[in-house]
Structure 1
Amino acid sequence: MQQLSRYSPALVAIDRLWLARQGENREVLMTTDIRICFVGDSFVNGTGDEEAAQSVPYIDIFSSLVSEDSYKLEVMSNDGSHPGSSSYVKMAQIISSSPNWRFYAP
Structure 2
Amino acid sequence: MDVFRFAKIPMRANDPTRRYRIVRGEEDVTVGRLEIGGDVPDGDSVVLTVDCRAVLAETERESVLSTARRFLDELVAGWGHQVAEVPGAREWAPQPDGVHRMRIEYQVVCANL
Q: Which has the larger radius of gyration?
A: 1
Higher strand share: 2
TM range (shorter): under 0.3
Q: TM-score, normalised by structure 1?
A: 0.27
Q: TM-score, normalised by structure 2?
A: 0.26
Higher helix share: 1
